[in-house]
Each structure stands twice: as structure tokens, then as C-alpha cells.
Amino acid sequence: MYQDDIYKLTPNQWEWFAQDVLFHLGYTVQIGPSEGVDDGLDMIVELGGTKYLVSCKHNFKTRKNVGVRAESDIRDRMEQHSCGGFIAFYSTSATTGLKNKLLSLKNKDYELVEIYLDNILDIIPTMRGFILQKHFSRPQELHHQLLQETEYKPLICMKEDCEKDIISQGNIPWSMTGFYHEDNKIHLIYGCKHCVSDYANYPYWAEISQIRYIEQMLNWRSVVDNIKTKNIELSEEFYEHWAYLQEAILQIQIPQGWGRWI
């Protein structure tokens, strides 16, 4: 999960990360983290003619929500830097007290943007790999990044009675997909290598650790498409299994530009 990797960043790294996220969201950076003086100014960005004072808070040790006391004199700070807007960029969330305070500023016609952990977890998968690579040292190991743990769906090995989840972090290196012929039909199969490699009697197969790289997944998709055009009947469950496989791989997909499968 990105969450753990986020809490490995130092407060200073958090500000640099915030700069990249805001840039990704379309903001122009006027004063970046290194130039920030003090008095609660971390950054100044601009969007659509409005200048925003950015406050980055990273409670990476306590993981506590940011409260009113940590964010004092917001209005004074905005005015001091001639900003008409304020961006809260927090690696946690804000307390109800602070949220109410922000709301009251909004009601006074200030532009308020709240970016909290949940929002950041949604934004990260839309960012380019090479940007994320600046902040997270081993992005290939970031796992199941697209879904919250509660939504995670395992992919169970197709060999009867083997109930292993072949896309769990520990099992990925030992898992594969391929095809087999039976009754003049071609079947798509996936599972542990030792469970299914004997059945996969067709010359094309792929490792799960390989097709989790998007470039490799695109290759594998064209293999599946070409099998379809070869005038061989597909089994009734072919597309159902292909759908399960694609859905599962999506959960562990490594975005473009995050290195290649070797």
C-alpha cells in the first residue's frame, strides 16, 4: 500500500512530493518548498488566476489528524502573502474543528482546497511512474496500489483443491498463465507453476510477474486475441477466465515507465 510508503517520507520530502502532486493537478508553482521562508508558508501555487498558500502537514509518526492549533491564523497568513486561496495538503486528515474553520473561510469567499490522505491515494495511480519514482524508492514493490485492502480480490489457482491466491505478493513469482487443448477446444488457465505448467500444453504462456508490467500485459493480450482468430474453438469459460485474470492483474499492475520485466 502507498500509505506505508507515504509515512516513510520525511516532512521535507513530503513538501517536495506535494509540489509534484499539485503540479500534476494543474497548479503552477510560484514559490517551491526550498524557498519557503517560515511562518507556515510551505509553498505558493497558482491556478486560474488565484494564488494559493499551501500548508503541508505530515504527521508521519503519530498519524493524527491535523487540528486547529497546528493551523493557526490561516487568514492572516494568506493575506500576508496576497493569496486568495488556501490548500491543506495533509498525509492524514483534518479534525472536525479544523474542517469547520476551513468551511467558515470558504463562506468568506476564500478558495479552499483540502487534499487529505484518501484523496492522495486516489491521485497517486494517475501520476506518471517516473515522477513517483523520485519519491518512492522501489515502486515495483508497491503492491495492490489501486484498491483498498477491503476491496482486494484474490485470484485462486485453477487446479482443483489448490486454494492459493496466485497474485499475493509471495506467490506472484511462482504463478503463470497459459492455454491447454482439450476436446478440440482451447482453454485459458492460470495458477501456481507447479500446479498448471503440465496442463499448459500450448506454446504460449506468461509469468504473472511478467504481465503485471503493462507493456507485457499488452503483449499477452495480443496473444490471447490471436488465439481467438486461429479458427480454433474457444472453451465456454475462456472469456470468463480471461476477465478474472485481467481484473486480478489490474490490482497488481505496475504503471508504464516503472522499469521493465527482466
Q: Which residues bind Zn ion (CB under 5 A)?
A: 157, 159, 162, 164, 191-192, 195
Rank residues 124 and 249 by Cβ distance to Zn ion and give the closer one: 249
Task: For 132, list phi and psi in degrees, rounded to 5.
Answer: -60, -30
Rounded to 5°, angle at Cα 82 from 80 and 84:
120
Q: Side chain identity at 162, as an amino acid letter?
A: C
Q: How far is the CB of 204 from Zn ion (least distance, A)?
A: 20
Whole-angstrom distance, CA of residue 127 vs CA of residue 115: 15
In sequence order, what are the beta bridge partners of 206?
A: 177
Whole-angstrom distance, CA of residue 3 vs CA of residue 120: 9
Rank residues 106 and 159 by Cβ distance to Zn ion and give the closer one: 159
Rank residues 99 and 241 by Cβ distance to Zn ion and give the closer one: 241
Rank residues 60 and 174 by Cβ distance to Zn ion and give the closer one: 174
Q: How far is the CB of 47 from Zn ion (least distance, A)?
A: 51
CA atoms within 13 A on the CB side of 122: 6
Whole-angstrom distance, CA of residue 143 vs CA of residue 206: 20
Q: How far is the CB of 180 from Zn ion (least distance, A)?
A: 15
Rank residues 153 and 194 by Cβ distance to Zn ion and give the closer one: 194
Whole-angstrom distance, CA of residue 93 vs CA of residue 169: 29
Q: How far is the CB of 243 from Zn ion (least distance, A)?
A: 20
Q: How far is the CB of 45 from Zn ion (least distance, A)?
A: 51
